[in-house]
Amino acid sequence: MFNRKVFETAEKIINEEGYSISTETALEFTELTEKGTMDLIFCANRIRERFKKNRIFTCAIINAKSGRCSENCAYCAQSSFHDTGVTTYPLLSKEELVEDALKMYAAGATEYSMVTSGLRLTGEEIDRICSAAGTLKEKTDLAVCASLGTLSEPMALRLARSGITNYHHNLETARSFFDQICTTHDYEEDIDTVKAATKAGLRVCSGGIIGLGESWTQRVELAMTLRELEVDSIPLNFLNPVQGTRLEKRPLVPPMEALKSIALFRFINPAANITICGGRVLTLKDYQSWVFMAGANGLMSGNYLTTAGRDYAMDMEMISDMGLETCRK
């Protein structure tokens, strides 16, 4: 028998404008058994179809500045606190940034993000990012995005004026668990960056990583925080334990747990874009196409920051085989 509470909640989200699932109900859904989880996934798909129809967007990124990060995030291969053997280099030239973006555009990417390591860029580095963004807006119709660490309001305005439309800054995990993951900056700095980007008129992409050791309650807490901030897009990553980091021995999230997490974020944030990003291949294995049924409407495709991703053509084929179509957000 179908789980009545799941079905009725989904119906309210779909049919009652402005309806929001309560924290109590979301926590109740975290305790669903395997059968109940399948019901949750089925209903998350219906919510996705209601708010996002069958349109899927794809993102590509470049690791524009690698390694030597001052922050001690427990999962990060680029942290200066970890010895992971990751390649390090300063911010790429404008020409390199533009060339890589044009390649991904030709392959079918609808969004392109320049991502840098470190807590914050210098003014000169921001200028280079802005110049590359301006060129890309002239040559393509890509949605140009950036993930450059923490921002002040003046920095956010400079990015917006350059042609960058989306700013990515993950909260990574719930506030109540953050000090178990990072102690070199405060959670509120990340919140302030999201708010500064929003105030500057940028569309904000902010999410986190599932599988850091957080509880189901803390996953719900993160989803609720993102709802309060009214972010446009929620990227969900799954921990890929990297040798040399503090979390190198953490087990992978089981595929059905990963899908259940996606479904919960869709129930809590029905109108937001939900993008499945790092750790997707390793965690989901043969269940990658299920992310859409669980409520996702976006994929990060190609390589990630320091780990290999999935071939772009394979992702495009998967989207087509599911009867879905690619689009911009």
Tell how many helices (H) and how many strands (E) occur in the chain: 13, 10
For residue 241, tell me if it sits in a domain: yes
Going by the DSSP 8-state scheme, the letter that residue 75 receives in this structure is T
CATH number, domain of 44, equals 3.20.20.70
Angle among Cα 140, 280, 287 to the nearest 5 degrees reads 115
pLDDT score at 293: 96
Q: Is the pLDDT of residue 329 over 70?
A: no
Going by the DSSP 8-state scheme, the letter that residue 202 receives in this structure is -
For residue 191, tell me if it sits in a domain: yes
Residue 199 burial (CB count, 10 A): 12
First to last CA, the chain: 36
Mean pLDDT value across the chain: 93
Q: Which residue has the tokens 């993000």?
A: 113
Amino acid at 167: Y
For residue 273, tell me if it sits in a domain: yes
pLDDT above 70 coverage of the chain, percent: 96
**Helix 153-162 crosses helix 123-139 at what angle (to 10 degrees)?**
30
For residue 17, tell me if it sits in a domain: no
Helices (H), ranges, 200-254: 216-229
For residue 10, tell me if it sits in a domain: no
Domain extent at residue 79: 22-326
Q: Give the long-range contacts of residues 323-327, CB within 8 A, separation 24 or more.
A: 323/54, 324/54, 324/55, 324/56, 324/292, 325/54, 325/55, 325/56, 326/55, 326/56, 326/57, 326/58, 326/108, 326/110, 327/55, 327/56, 327/57, 327/110
pLDDT score at 60: 79
Q: Is the pLDDT of residue 250 over 70?
A: yes
* Number of independent structural domains in the chain: 1
How far is Cα 256 from Cα 43, in angstroms, rounded to an integer?
15
Q: Is 176 exposed, middle or buried, given 0-12, 13-18 or 19+ CB atoms closer than 10 A?
A: middle
pLDDT score at 234: 98
| Digit-coded pLDDT (tens) for 254-277 | 999 999 999 999 999 999 999 999
For residue 11, tell me if it sits in a domain: no
For residue 3, tell me if it sits in a domain: no
For residue 258, tell me if it sits in a domain: yes
Confidence of residue 86 (pLDDT cuts 50, 70, 90): confident
Paired with 166 in beta bridges are 145, 203
| Digit-coded pLDDT (tens) for 203-228 | 999 999 999 999 999 999 999 999 99
Q: Is the pLDDT of residue 302 over 80?
A: no
pLDDT score at 308: 53
How far is Cα 88 from Cα 65, in angstroms, rounded to an integer?
8
